[in-house]
Chains A and B, each alone.
Chain A
Amino acid sequence: MNKPGLYEPSFEHDACGIGFVVNINGQKSHQIIEEGIQILCNLEHRGAIGSDHKTGDGAGMMVQIPHSFFTKKVEFTLPPAGQYGVGFFFLPGDDSTSYEARKLVQSVIVREGGAFLGWREVPNNPESLGQIARDSRPSLWQAFLKFPLLKNRALERKLYILRRCLEKEAIARGWGMDDFYIPSLSSRIIIYKGMFVSTQFISFYPDMKDTDFISALALVHQRYSTNTFPSWPLAQPFRYLAHNGEINTLRGNINKMVARDPKLTSSVFGNEISKVIPVINPEASDSSIMDTVLELLHMGGRSLEHSLMMMVPEPFGPKYHMSEDKRAFYEYHSAIMDPWDGPAALLFSDGIKIGGSLDRNGLRPARYVITKSGKVIMASEVGVLDIDPQDIREKGRLAPGKMLIVDTGLKRIIRDNEIKAKITRWKPYRRWLEDNRIELKGLFQVPGPVEYDPNTLLTRLKAFGYSLEDLKLIITPMVRNSQEPIGSMGNDAALAVLSEKPQLLYNYFRQLFAQVTNPPIDPYRENLVMSLMSFVGRQHNLLDEKPVHCRQLKLYYPILTNDDIKRLKSAKLKGFKVGSVPMLFKTEEGRGSLTSGLEQLCLAVEKKVDEGYSMVILSDRGITREWAAIPALLATSTVHHHLVDRGKRHLTALVIESGEVREVHHFALLLSYGASGINPYLVFESLFELRNRGYLDRHLSLPSAQMHYINAINRGLLKVMSKMGISTLRSYRQAQTYEAIGLSASFIEKYFPGTTSRIGGVGIDVFEEEVLHRHFAAFNNEPYHLKRLDSGGFYAYRQKSLKHLFTPEAITLLQQAVRDNNYLLFKKYTAEINNVNENLCTLRGLLKFKKGNPVPIEEVEAEGHIIQRLVTSAMSFGSISKEAHETLAIAMNRLGCKSNSGEGGEDEERYQLLANGDSAKSKIKQIASARFGVTSNYIVNSEELQIKMAQGAKPGEGGQLPGFKVNEIIAKVRNATPGVMLISPPPHHDIYSIEDLSQLIYDLKNVNPEARISVKLVSEVGVGTVAAGVAKAKADMVLISGSDGGTGAAPLSSIKHAGSSWEIGLAETQQVLVMNKLRGHIRIQVDGQIKTGRDVVIGALLGAEEFGFGTSALVVLGCVMMRKCHLNTCPVGIATQNPQLRSRFRGKPDYVVNFMRFIAREVREIMAELGFRSFNEMVGRVDRLEVNRAVQHYKTRGIDFSGILYQPDKQENLPRYCTETPSPDLTNDLDLRLIKDAASSLEKQKKTSIRMTIKNFNRSVGARLSGEVSKRYGSAGLPADTIKVKFEGSAGQSFGAFLAPGITFEVEGDANDYFGKGLSGGKLIIYPPDRSTFLPHKNIITGNVNLFGATGGEAFIHGMAGERFCVRNSGAIAVVEGVGDHGCEYMTDGRVIVLGKTGINFAAGMSGGIAYVLDEDLLFDTRCNLEMVDIEPLSEKEDIDFLFAYIKKHVDFTGSSYAQRIVDKWEDMLPYFVKIMPVEYRRALERIQQQESKESEWVGMTEEIYT
């Protein structure tokens, strides 16, 4: 696909609904087909449709070959079933090319020794399709062929080889995937798929209706793609699997495969292996590539399940209690293949076996039902097929990392343990590992003495570009606290490419992060699934397994001490040679010396590889005046790609020994571009100096200091990986999850191929110059120059150092202007900010307006209109003080504009008007991952609901409000306890992919249909495609945040290095939305260091309609950019909760009012000058922008704005701004009926009782009803049980979401994910149907993520719940009979009673509330995360009484006989109960108790956490 503008096809995402149904005994029937279609249709809401409201993103079904059907349909004779192959072909629509393609197919079949039997043109019905799908429809053909001597696996393998031959022939003819594609070619299965929504499937393929069309299994997939560009081949299932999820590490996985391709050998393929390779088509989707590799492994001789266990291994870290053989299996295979990391529910089949498998995090749902009549149904949701409750034998869900297979050959179900017991002992992996694995003695022991040369230290530090900030702000805190340093107030320093100061290459790279389409992971609370362990060394043939495969060095983490490197260099190991190559270039050879240095380096490394070295150390030790260091990242990536190109990459590990490396970002980048281990020797040497100079505690020994530093880097690496949703270092390595900003295309192509760099920039000459500049400055003999490091100025402002947008002068002018209401001063301020000659920091600084025909200013849209487009950005009450937060709200309300609550909830008192008529209510309410205070009442009291997917300062990360900032009022609005730390998880636990976001939007629209829904994203490559997905999810507005923004606290590396500028993200979003014809349906807002009217106009021309102000609004209120928000010491009372400092707050609403008016006035002036009369006219007019050549300097010359200034709407007149936003489809909404039936309750508080049936597609039931209750009765709601509804059936997602007080929902049946999401005081009861016979406490009755973010109410669940039960509960009381992994995570209040087993990682990050667990096998403490909680016996009478009362209630409401047993034997059962009590919470409770007795106010503590 071509790449117009900024759109990058490789960043398309999809997500979906998947499912299968199978007759265990292999009995084929047409009923299975019908049921498959039924499943597909019932999952329709998980898919999406395009802007024509009809074209689906794709759906498909894999079935066994219907032999009798084909026999009937073809005119030629078919061999017996299983002895011929059927290929499904998507060929070009026009007849002649199609004919040509068919001729080709026939000839290749013959060439490969097969016999061609005939063609069948597949009947189809294009009328049922959407326009986009119809226009791109291929011609559909089935080919029948045989290989006389072959059958079973041999035949399948030959058909595979044939397909690869055909695909390669097609490529040779220049046919892309859209011209020539083979959905399936097999003797066992056939795949019908295409670009439609599920309901169109059956009408499009009439074959499906034929009763002879039979199969014992059907595997289906419904796709939701972020974009709707016509692509039939991307519909799923693929040849072996259907995938719901994302592969985050795709680039690395591809590279690792490509590198080994040429060296593949296989006994089963013999010579024919050459026909198969290269196996990967890099243009295909992630799922498709994964399928290709799975196919190769499987065809190469491993079983399907074995291959999957290699590609998607379970976590096997030390925290898991697991079989030694299984651990050894995974460890052995980690030396062969790195995980394909990312959320994944995988359904797979080879036509005989069919099964499902889940990624290690369990981030996608997979529910199954086993019936007594011999079927297994597995799908993303339960209830996709109607099954008689009596017929149900078992209900379950796939747990993280687990697998389930139905073998129709053996006619039985094979469960996880059986599968893995067999495969892990297939070969003596444990023995092989013990005999071959290298664990260098002494490596990773306490570090030995560091050799250190104080005489040259400063010279070397300067040569590697160290500043005082590096030592003081980066390394010192890491050594002191074993964690990364924290900062605040975003980044306003110049982009690396705009900085006239030399910059390290690292600063040109931005970390990618997960948003919407896949979730980030919590590296702290869920670190048990994460791993930094890796095997490094020479890798062997992928299609083989021998002991030598694991003759590699095991590294527990990738940082090596100076001692480790010494040991490695001197190690004498059989079959493991370690070599070293200098990473230096000669300084005196003039221009191009760096290039030639790199070339020599590549050759030197390759030579070592050829000589059989398993590990090569690239070292820049030994820089001298004559020899300068090659930038380590440049060296690593260049060597890496050189070896990939030569097919030798897997033959050696690259270890980097460099003085340049110091921060987390450096380590992460090096690993991402090819390093296996890194030794930052200069950091370790500088520790001496730091200790001598008193930065470090004298009592801290140097070995400990080194270990602290390593720990900090390790934690940082986990964080960088986790923000991309990557769990293991093994898969992170080489994954290139970065975007470059400011590197030229030729530079990228040569040294960093595969990396996105969209605005061009500098090349190798600049780096050579900058390295030499630093180098000579350092080696300058003058002692005067020698003795001092530069100040830096990257993190804090220094007048003579790096440029920053906010200068002292600008702040002063702005504050004076708004205080005195002086527009002239304001113009001086904007002149200072916009002064690009002096202060070029941003991309927009390089742009200027093209002259237009000015219009008289009176004719331009009024200031009062323009101002409506301005909002204040989200800043939580908690991160900023009550005074500052309310001042912003009051000001914006006075203007009729919107302020944003931020994620901290909002005090209900603010919903009332103040005495003077002002309102302190935030019109925009944020819905963030922690859901603090997100109740039904909060939702109805807003005009806009903003789902925060990421924030500029630290996209992809969670956060925490330290206990000392949580005072009484904050605790109140967040439903927490004063003094107890509050954690915001990195992901929204109800948004693991795009269809989940769509679900949350649907939930919110239901609770408050009047509010507009917005989604906040952060700029990075691919944000446009995500935004398209957001538009398809029917959000009203998408907010593109620049990565530079952010007012809160965040790790410095995230503030500086994650995400990209809003100019690029906004332009991409606008382009992709216009191209997809979606722009008219959604508004765009932009924020991130927007400071002037000029910024606003540039934003508008690039496509934004609305604008957010964060930092500048705070400066208006008195902020002076102390960047101390994280320390609670804001001296102007803004970002602090300390009462003493809060009293220093001097901001006034008038200042903000003046500021917004000034901005609007300036915008209006510019509009007049440019000749725009209305704002809308201006939106998206990139043609009115051009590059300001006048402000360029040596680094900006290569910057290319053509991508940003690309206009997709040149030919067609597509809307450039939003004209109307779509309303949600309420066809399956039960609430309209509920509201009608409960009218008397709503109006007069009379009791109502309702009964109805429910299906899985009835989603968010109760949300709208709750909204009605909250609107009328506020947070108090109705008296208990006023509205009682009993449902029968399978409840859809988000059942009982935000259920308001006074509503009781009872379900006889089961429920899906997000049951009781945000429960706001209502009551939920669920139990299996009366007639069912399975044991509920051993079966899954509701899905994952139940009661997420509940703030009050009660839930009684007769049966087990899935993963992540009661995550972020802050007030609800729940009784359940068993839960999956990560139960009660991040809980801050409420009570949870588990009457049975829990999964692992229970109570991780739980800082409040209490859980009670029935621990009959005494193993609960092995599954509980004990970092923040204590487990204790129940002794207090209060606890016992509470527990008994609620179990009794549970019995009464659900009729649970299991719970009845506990009640009956109370005295015997009680001792088995344990109480899980958060440590900090207990302390806080004690403190509150003491204080109550003293009747004094809670006093802010001045505890220092990051000093």
Chain B
Amino acid sequence: MGKITGFLDYKRQDFKIQGVTQRISHYHEFAVPIGETDIAIQAARCMDCGIPFCQSTFGCPLWNLIPEWNDLAYRGQWREAYERLEITNNFPEFTGRLCPAPCESACTLSINDAPVTIKQIELAIIEKAFQEGWVVPYPPQKSTGKSVAVIGSGPAGLAAAQQLRRLGHQVTVFEKSPKIGGLLRYGIPDFKLEKRVIDRRLEQLISEGIVFKTEVMIGEDISAHYLKKSFDSILIATGAGHPRDLQIPGRNLKGIYFAQEFLTNSNLFVDGMIDGNQLISCQDKTVLVIGGGDTGSDCVGTANRQGARRVFQFEILPKPEEWKYKWNPYWPNRPDILRTSTSHQEGCEREWSVMTKSFSGRHGKIEKASFSRVRWDRSGKSLQPDMQEIPDSDFELNIDMVLLATGFVHLVHNRLIKDLRLQFDDKKNLRVDEHFMTSVPGVFAAGDAAKGPSLIVKAIYAGREAAKSIHNYLMC
């Protein structure tokens, strides 16, 4: 029930973070932990709504029981709060750090006030749980004798693996990289998610009896057919790793990287897996990040930590509306407003409605990029606004490095997919039915591999739901 007048009595207080100069000197997480009392006060702001929008299709895709654990956090019942959190979410420590928190923009308080700091409370609960040793393995009591191969160890694969294991199945997770975690480990910079957080969770998964096989590329190292024969069911959770390219003149110059390549490289470096020579370094360089999304923002943060001289981030879409109030004008929908991430605060020049037209350079290496400005027109008949170049708006910049953060299009169509002859949907992701089954019986797919790039919470949810379907498939 929270405190009945909590939302009137207390103001929202979000994560406290280190100052810019301090935090860009390292790759660690920089949020300053908040004391339990302060978290309880924040939780007291929850109104325990008759209809909790945080828990709707506008809010948490995991259907987290937010009002329930808010109340428990407010009353200092951390153990029970953790128990309620754990019902829906396998990995609150990931979502509590990385989730864009649609729950908060859907929070009923944000109709006319600042929403409850749901994400912060979630994180506090799970960190408390780890600290108190409440996060213990739940190995199954009975074995079903069925085996499942999970391909890919990102959030969807891990969630599915845990759910399946707890239902008594023998679960093996295959990962092509040296360590488990997928995008969590290689896509997300450490300053957003320290890798020890993943390792901590892996301990539980391993204790529950999940077998992890790293540096195995299914389809190459192990044939798809062999896998299919060896396991009763297969779950493909390989993510949507095929990046969107920018085919413009000068694209093949050196110094132009896909964001993912850059970020993975940086993470390997931070993890000590590669040394300085192998690092794609931004040090003393003028870096252009193309693409205004979260990946772009991660590139900005990483570039600054590597000591970039100057960082630009250009987006072709128009600049979103600026909104200075604490409430959400588009409640309960996620507002299309200008967001400034902590990475942006660390130093970068952002521009919108800018189209990159070409790259040029000498010795096969990029030195310049040319742009023009565009105008977006919403008056046209089609739902998508029309884009028009503004005449005589061309300009050029000297650039040493370009990071393409223009998004992903679909999963990588590797041998596994080809050998199993899986069918695609119109976006070239795997076609699955309502039970997450692909066109091949017994082969399931979940997460970005099936639905295209999306949020981590959706991946966890898909993993859990796919596990249910696989269980039903195996047990019937």
Contact = CB atoms under 8 A, between A and B. Distances in A.
- A and B held together in a complex: yes
B63 A1132 contact: no
B65 A1502 contact: no
A782 B141 contact: yes
Given A694-B75, A812-B58, A797 B50 contact: yes
Contacts of B67: 796
A809 B49 contact: no
Nearest to A1120: B108
B50 A798 contact: no
Nearest to B79: A693
A1131 B113 contact: yes
B346 interface: no
B56 interface: yes
B335 to A, nearest CB: 14
B48 interface: yes
A1124 B166 CA distance: 39
A1140 B87 contact: no
B51 interface: yes
Given A784-B138, A1122-B49, A807 B63 contact: no
A275 to B, nearest CB: 62
Contacts of A1507: 1, 4
A472 B65 CA distance: 14
B50 A796 contact: yes
Nearest to B333: A812
Interface string B1-35: 10011011000000000000000000000000000
Interface in B139-177: 140-142, 166
Interface residues of A, number: 44
A410 B109 CA distance: 79
B4 A791 contact: no
A796 B51 contact: yes
Given A796-B50, A799-B55, A1129-B4, A781 B141 contact: yes
A797 B66 CA distance: 12
Contacts of B113: 1131
A460 to B, nearest CB: 18
A787 interface: yes
Contacts of A799: 55-57, 63
A808 B58 contact: yes
B230 interface: no
A1144 B84 contact: no
B68 A791 contact: yes
B83 interface: yes
Given A808-B332, A1507-B4, A791 B47 contact: no
* Interface hub of A784, A795, A1129 (most chain B Cβ within 10 A): A784
A1146 B112 CA distance: 10
A808 B57 contact: yes
A811 interface: yes
Interface in B83-142: 83-84, 87, 106, 108-109, 111-113, 138, 140-142
Contacts of B56: 799, 807-809
Given A694-B75, A1502-B5, A468 B50 contact: no
Contact of B51 (A694, A1121, A1132, A1138): A1121
B461 to A, nearest CB: 11
A655 to B, nearest CB: 34
B112 A1131 contact: yes
Contacts of A782: 140-141, 166
B283 interface: no
Contact of B7 (A472, A808, A1131): A1131
Interface string A802-820: 0010111101100000000
A270 interface: no
Interface string A770-807: 00000000000111100110010001111110001011
Contacts of B59: 808
B250 interface: no
Given A1131-B108, A1132-B111, A694 B50 contact: no
A797 B56 CA distance: 9
Interface string A1113-1130: 000001011111001010
Please indicate which of the listed interface residues A472, A800, A808, A1120 has the most CB atoms of chain B within 10 Å of its own CB.
Answer: A808
Interface residues of B, number: 41
A1373 interface: no
Contacts of A1144: 112
A718 interface: no
A489 B4 contact: no
Contacts of A804: 51
Nearest to B327: A1144
A1118 B106 CA distance: 15
B53 interface: yes
A788 B88 CA distance: 11
A788 B87 contact: yes
B388 to A, nearest CB: 28
Given A784-B166, A1140-B8, A1122 B332 contact: no
Contacts of A788: 83-84, 87
Contact of A798 (B58, B65, B76): B65
A1124 B50 contact: yes
A1122 B57 contact: no
B138 A694 contact: no
A468 B5 CA distance: 23
A788 B333 CA distance: 31
Nearest to A784: B138
Interface in A40-84: none
A808 B47 contact: no
A973 to B, nearest CB: 26
B351 interface: no
Interface in A1310-1353: none
Nearest to B76: A694
A1131 B47 contact: yes
Contact of B112 (A468, A1122, A1132): A1132
A1129 B47 contact: yes
Interface in A444-483: 468, 472
Contact of B83 (A787, A791, A1131, A1140): A787
A807 B57 CA distance: 10
Given A693-B77, A1502-B5, A796 B84 contact: no
B32 to A, nearest CB: 28
Interface string B428-467: 0000000000000000000000000000000000000000
Nearest to B87: A788
Given A782-B141, A807-B56, A1146-B112, A1123 B50 contact: yes
B52 interface: yes
Interface in A1130-1175: 1131-1132, 1138, 1140-1141, 1144, 1146
A693 B80 contact: yes
Contacts of B80: 693
Given A1121-B51, A1131-B112, A809 B57 contact: yes
A782 B142 CA distance: 9
B58 to A, nearest CB: 6
A695 B4 CA distance: 15
A127 interface: no
A1146 to B, nearest CB: 7
A489 B50 contact: yes
A467 to B, nearest CB: 11
A1120 B111 contact: yes
A917 B50 CA distance: 38
29 contacts: A693-B80, A781-B142, A782-B141, A787-B83, A788-B83, A796-B50, A796-B51, A796-B67, A798-B65, A808-B53, A808-B57, A809-B56, A809-B58, A812-B58, A812-B332, A1120-B53, A1121-B49, A1121-B51, A1122-B51, A1124-B50, A1127-B4, A1129-B4, A1129-B5, A1131-B108, A1131-B111, A1131-B113, A1144-B112, A1502-B5, A1507-B4
Top 3 closest pairs, chain A to chain B, by CB:
A1123-B50, A808-B56, A797-B51
Given A806-B51, A809-B57, A1131-B7, 9 more contacts: A693-B77, A783-B141, A796-B52, A799-B56, A799-B57, A1120-B108, A1122-B49, A1131-B112, A1132-B112
